[in-house]
């Protein structure tokens, strides 16, 4: 089978590798679509828990190709050849202190398909059955957003309650657009999406009734001040850009008592300055939200309810052999929204 293989950070080839065979509890999945996101750029550079040699791809949809003995899906259901499934890339040990406290996303032995073990940028991927979820009847172009939506569902749990809250999201990439919809489902009274890219803002506002604000990427503090003048300050402030300049300025748009969320993935070396007195005096809460381990059912429920729309989010599709072109588009093409790898 073909697979993208990194032997070291920044160095990959698309080459033939042996097709794995499922053992007990395992399932071989034929990839039908795998989304790319900013995390893949961090993995390319050797960041974000990357373990080499590496086949990335953590947002994968596929069809069951072979089922190992005793394999069942994440809901305990039977699996059949040809069934459409989505892959939860994340797993935990279930025995460490965090897992026994029912916080598996903080697991000391956290592992990820596409970062710790071979992922979906390949013709096939071998997966423990317990990390598969039935996606029968869900459109492929929606199903490919299952992993980022599951991460958002985890954040919604952490932010609960949201009823009546005003929220701003920075970053109109696919994650930011999905966030605006999940926030509305969770009961936010108003949602504003901010980004320098007017095209991406227009796509988002066509999908759900949100406010939008065009940022000046060269003057983030000035943009923050102008936003507060137009919309007022916010109860919840979420960064989905992973840009240190934006993270630095988030308190500017926060109401006293607000919750500030670091959601976008910054470079590991990024640092921002913060005023402890401001956090103290204004009673601000700053929190991170890393990933999920058990939120796929919530994401799929939202999909099946019709509450989540992804029209026009997928702008680029590349076959796996053109992974290099896809990576360059992800890095540099401002017309690229969601990029999907196909067989």
Question: Cα–Cα distance between 315 and 343 in angstroms, integer?
Answer: 17
Secondary structure of residue 175 in the 3-state scheme: helix
- 126-136 pLDDT, tens digit each: 999 999 999 99
CA separation (Å) from 251 to 183, 217, 243, 260?
Answer: 20, 17, 15, 8
50, pLDDT greater than 90:
no
Reported confidence tier of residue 49, pLDDT bands at 50, 70, 90: confident
Greatest CA separation found in the chain? Answer: 61
Bridge partner residues of 90 (DSSP): 112
Q: Helices marked H in the chain — which ranges?
A: 38-44, 97-100, 140-143, 146-159, 174-185, 198-207, 220-231, 244-249, 276-282, 296-305, 323-332
**Mapping DSSP to helix (H, G, I), strand (E, B) and coil, where does residue 96 land?**
coil
pLDDT for res 258? 98
Tokens, residue 113: 């398909």
Q: What percent of the chain has pLDDT over 70?
A: 100
Give the pLDDT score at 47.
83
The SS3 call for residue 338 is: strand
Query: What's the Cα-to-Cα distance from 204 to each of 96, 195, 269, rounded to whole Å?
Result: 40, 11, 31
Q: What is the pTM of this model?
A: 0.96
Q: For the residues of 293-322, what is the DSSP string, one character each?
A: SS-HHHHHHHHHHT----TTTEEEEEEGGG
Segment 88-139, tens digit of pLDDT: 999 999 999 999 999 999 999 999 999 999 999 999 999 999 999 999 999 9
The confidence score (pLDDT) of residue 213 equals: 98
Angle between helices 198-207 and 174-185 (to 10 degrees): 30
* Interstrand relation of 166-170 and 190-195 (parallel, antiparallel or unpaired): parallel
Using the predicted structure, report yes or no on whether residue 41 has a pLDDT greater than 80: yes
* Banded model confidence at residue 166, pLDDT cuts 50, 70, 90: very high
Residue 152, pLDDT > 90, answer yes
Q: Are 1 and 126 in contact (CB under 8 A)?
A: no
Q: φ, ψ for residue 52 (rounded to 5)?
A: -100, 150
CB 172 within 8 A of CB 193: yes
Antiparallel, parallel or unpaired: β 26-36 and 338-342 = antiparallel
For the chain, domains (ranges, CATH) are 2-145+313-342 (3.90.180.10), 152-288 (3.40.50.720)
Residues 63, 84: contact at Cβ < 8 Å?
yes
d(CA 165, CA 186): 10
Per-residue pLDDT, averaged over 63-85, amounts to 98
φ, ψ of residue 91 in degrees (nearest 5): -145, 160
**Chain-centre distance for alpha carbon 187:** 21
The answer to whether the Cα torsion of 305, 308, 314, 315 is positive or negative is: positive
Q: Which residues contact 112 (CB under 8 A, 6 or more apart)?
A: 49, 58, 89, 90, 91, 291
pLDDT band of residue 322 (cuts 50, 70, 90) is: very high
Share of the chain above pLDDT 90, in %: 96
Query: Which pLDDT score is estimated for 92?
Result: 95
Mean pLDDT of 173-196: 98
225-240 pLDDT per residue, tens: 999 999 999 999 999 9
pLDDT band at 241 (very low <50, low <70, confident <90, very high): very high
Segment 242-258 mean pLDDT = 97
Q: What is the pLDDT of residue 46?
A: 86
Give the pairing type, strands 285-288 and 132-134.
unpaired
* Residue appearing with tokens 């320098």: 196
DSSP 3-state of 238? strand
Q: What is the mean pLDDT of residues 150-161?
A: 97
* pLDDT (tens digit per residue) in 196-211: 999 999 999 999 999 9
Beta bridge mates, 254:
234
Q: Helix, strand, or coil here: 48?
A: coil
């Amino acid at each position: 089978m073909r697979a993208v293989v990194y032997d070291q950070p920044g160095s990959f080839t698309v080459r033939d590798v042996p097709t794995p065979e499922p053992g007990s509890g395992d399932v071989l999945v034929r990839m039908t679509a795998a989304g790319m996101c900013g995390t893949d750029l961090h993995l390319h550079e050797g960041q974000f828990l990357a373990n080499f040699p590496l086949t990335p791809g953590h947002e994968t949809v596929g069809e069951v190709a072979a089922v190992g003995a005793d394999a069942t899906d994440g809901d305990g259901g039977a699996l059949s050849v040809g069934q459409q499934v989505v892959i939860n890339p994340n797993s935990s040990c279930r025995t460490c202190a965090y897992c026994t406290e029912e916080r598996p996303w903080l697991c000391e032995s956290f592992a990820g398909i596409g970062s710790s073990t071979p992922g979906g940028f390949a013709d096939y991927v071998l997966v423990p059955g317990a990390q598969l979820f039935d996606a029968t009847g869900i459109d492929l172009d929606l199903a490919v957003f299952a992993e980022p939506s599951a991460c958002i569902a985890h954040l919604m749990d952490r932010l609960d309650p949201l009823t009546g809250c005003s929220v701003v999201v920075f970053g109109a990439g696919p994650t930011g657009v999905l966030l605006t919809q999940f926030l509305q489902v969770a009961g936010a009274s108003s949602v504003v999406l901010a980004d320098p890219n007017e095209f991406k803002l227009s796509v988002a506002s066509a999908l759900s009734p949100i406010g939008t604000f065009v940022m000046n990427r060269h003057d983030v503090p000035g943009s923050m001040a102008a936003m507060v003048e137009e919309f007022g300050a916010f109860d919840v402030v979420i960064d989905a850009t992973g840009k240190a300049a934006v993270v630095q300025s988030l308190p500017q748009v926060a109401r006293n008592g607000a919750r500030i969320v670091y959601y976008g993935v910054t470079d590991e070396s990024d640092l921002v300055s913060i005023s402890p007195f401001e956090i103290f005096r204004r009673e601000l809460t700053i929190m991170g939200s890393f990933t999920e381990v058990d939120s796929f059912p919530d994401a799929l429920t939202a999909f099946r309810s019709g509450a989540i729309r992804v029209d026009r989010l997928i702008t680029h599709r590349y076959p796996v052999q053109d992974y290099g072109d896809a990576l360059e588009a992800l890095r540099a093409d401002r017309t690229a929204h969601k990029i999907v790898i196909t067989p």
